[in-house]
A and B are shown apart, each in its own frame.
Chain A
Amino acid sequence: MKKMKFGWSGAKLMLLAALLLTATLAPISVFAQADPASDVIPAPKEFSLSTADLVYYAYWVLAALVLLVIVYIFNVGAASEKLTGRTVINWTKVNAWLSIIILVAGGAGVAYELVYHGRYLLPDAASKHGDSIDNMFNWTFGFTFAVFVITEVLLFWFLFKYRTKEGRKAAYYFHNNQLEVIWTVIPAIVLTFLVLRGYSTWHAITQTPEPTAKQIEVFGYQFGWKARYAGEDNKFGEANFNFIDPATNELGLAIKPTVIALRDTLTADTHRLGNDLRNLSAILKKKAEDLSKMSLAADGKAYTDLAQELEDIRNGNKASELRKMMKRKGVQIQRINASLGNQDLFNGAANDDKITTEIHLIKDQPYTFKYRARDVIHSAYMPYFRSQMNVVPGMTTSFTFTPTKTTKQMQDELKNPEFQFYLFCAKICGSAHYNMKIKVVVETESEYNAWLDKQKRVIEPAQPEAPSAPASGTDTTATPKTAKNNNTRPSLAMGH
Chain B
Amino acid sequence: MSTAAAHGVHADAHEHHHESFIRKYIFSTDHKMISRQFLITGIVMGVIGMVMSILFRLQLAWPDQKFAILEMLLGRWAKGGILDANFYMALVTIHGTIMVFYVLTAGLSGTFSNLLIPLQCGARDMASPFMNMLSYWFFFISSLVLCWSFFVETGPASAGWTVYPPLSALEKAMPGSGFGMTLWLVAIALFIVSSLLGGINYISTVLNMRTKGMSMNRLPLTIWAFFFTAILGLLSFPVLLGAALFLIFDRSFGTSFYLSDIWLNGVGALENVGGSPILYQHLFWFLGHPEVYIILMPALGITSEVIATNARKPIFGYTAMVISLMGISVLSFIVWGHHMFITGMNPFLGSVFMFLTLVIAVPSAVKVFNYLTTLWRGNIQFTPAMLFAIGLVSFFISGGLTGIYLGNAALDINLHDSYFVVAHFHLVMGSAAIFGMLSGIYHWFPKMFGRLMNNTLGYFHFWLTFIAAYLVFFPMHFMGLAGVPRRYYAFSVIPEFNVWLEVNQLITVAAILAGFAQVLFLWNFFYSIFRGKKSSANPWKANTLEWSTPVEHIHGNWPGEIPTVYRGPYEYSREDREEDYYPQYIPGEDEGHGHDAPKTKTAPVHTEEAPAATGGNVLFSALKKVFGFSPR
Contacts and interface: CB of A to CB of B under 8 A. Distances in A.
Given A136-B410, A392-B344, A74 B456 contact: yes
Interface stretch (A162-170, A279-287, A443-451): A162-170
Interface string A14-38: 1100110010111101100100110
Given A144-B401, A174-B314, A175-B317, A18 B516 contact: yes
B269 A173 contact: no
B313 A172 contact: yes
Given A136-B410, A171-B313, A162 B375 contact: yes
Contacts of A96: 382
Contact of A383 (B64, B414, B467): B414
Contact of B482 (A110, A123, A179): A123
A377 B416 CA distance: 14
Interface stretch (B14-22, B219-227, B361-369): B361-369
Interface stretch (B239-247, B270-278, B289-297): B270-278
Interface string B334-353: 00000000111001101100
B493 A437 contact: yes
A188 B502 contact: no
Contacts of A6: 531
B167 A430 contact: yes
A430 B174 contact: yes
Contact of B378 (A95, A109, A117, A162): A162
Contact of A172 (B259, B418, B575): B575
B276 A395 contact: yes
Q: Which of A4, A24, A429 has the most CB of B within 10 A?
A: A429
B503 interface: yes
B338 to A, nearest CB: 11
B263 A244 contact: yes
A122 B261 CA distance: 37
Nearest to B344: A397
A382 to B, nearest CB: 8
Given A375-B264, A393-B262, A158 B376 contact: yes
Given A39-B496, A375-B263, A376-B170, A162 B175 contact: no
Nearest to A420: B495
Contacts of B416: 379, 388, 426
B488 interface: yes
A191 B361 contact: yes
Contact of B320 (A180, A240, A252): A180
A413 to B, nearest CB: 13
B397 A151 contact: yes
A180 B371 CA distance: 12
Nearest to B311: A170
B494 interface: yes
What's the interface size class on A, roughly?
A: 35 or more
Contacts of B344: 389-390, 392, 395, 397
Given A91-B455, A170-B572, A428-B167, A241 B263 contact: yes
B173 A144 contact: no
Contacts of B260: 393-395
B4 to A, nearest CB: 27
A326 to B, nearest CB: 12
A386 B414 CA distance: 5
A180 B454 contact: no
A121 B408 contact: no
Interface stretch (A42-50, A360-368, A476-484): A42-50
B373 A179 contact: yes
Interface string B497-535: 011011101101100110110011001100100010000
Nearest to B163: A428
Instruction: Tell me which of B58, B362, B368 has the highest count of chain A C-beta atoms within 10 A of its own C-beta.
Output: B362
B212 interface: no
B617 interface: no
A104 to B, nearest CB: 13
Contact of B372 (A151, A203, A424): A151
Contact of B594 (A102, A174, A202, A335): A174
Given A328-B270, A375-B173, A172 B414 contact: no
B167 A144 contact: no
Interface stretch (B101-109, B386-394, B433-441, B547-555): B386-394
B411 A136 contact: yes
Nearest to B364: A187
A176 B598 CA distance: 10
Interface string B292-323: 00000000000000000001111111101000
A432 interface: yes
B474 interface: yes
B278 A392 contact: yes
Interface in B387-431: 387, 390, 393-394, 397-398, 401-402, 404-405, 408-411, 413-414, 416-418
A437 B495 CA distance: 12
A337 B417 CA distance: 41
A52 to B, nearest CB: 14
B411 A137 contact: yes
A435 B372 CA distance: 46
A147 B351 CA distance: 25
A207 B359 CA distance: 23
A133 B413 contact: yes
A437 B314 CA distance: 57
A74 B456 CA distance: 8
Nearest to B530: A3
A278 B334 CA distance: 57
A427 B340 CA distance: 12
A155 B397 contact: yes
Given A11-B457, A144-B404, A148-B401, A172 B574 contact: yes
B526 to A, nearest CB: 10
Interface string B25-56: 00000000000000000000000000000000
Interface in B575-589: 575, 580
Contact of A241 (B262, B370, B508): B262
Given A162-B375, A198-B354, A375-B262, A328 B269 contact: yes
B496 A419 contact: yes
A42 B378 CA distance: 52
B130 interface: no
Contacts of A78: 456
A462 interface: no
Contacts of A113: 474-475, 478
B456 A22 contact: no
A222 B265 contact: yes
Contacts of B343: 377, 390, 392, 397
Contact of A199 (B320, B354, B394): B354
B213 to A, nearest CB: 20
A418 interface: yes
A69 B595 CA distance: 47
Contacts of B496: 39, 419
B594 A122 contact: no
Contacts of B516: 15, 18-19, 22
B487 A428 contact: yes
A383 B484 CA distance: 9
Given A26-B512, A91-B459, A140-B404, 16 more contacts: A3-B531, A15-B520, A29-B505, A36-B499, A45-B65, A133-B411, A147-B397, A163-B382, A169-B379, A244-B263, A375-B173, A393-B261, A395-B276, A395-B278, A424-B494, A433-B488
19 contacts: A7-B454, A22-B516, A29-B65, A33-B505, A39-B495, A42-B501, A136-B408, A140-B405, A147-B401, A155-B372, A172-B574, A174-B595, A199-B355, A203-B347, A241-B263, A246-B265, A428-B159, A430-B167, A435-B493
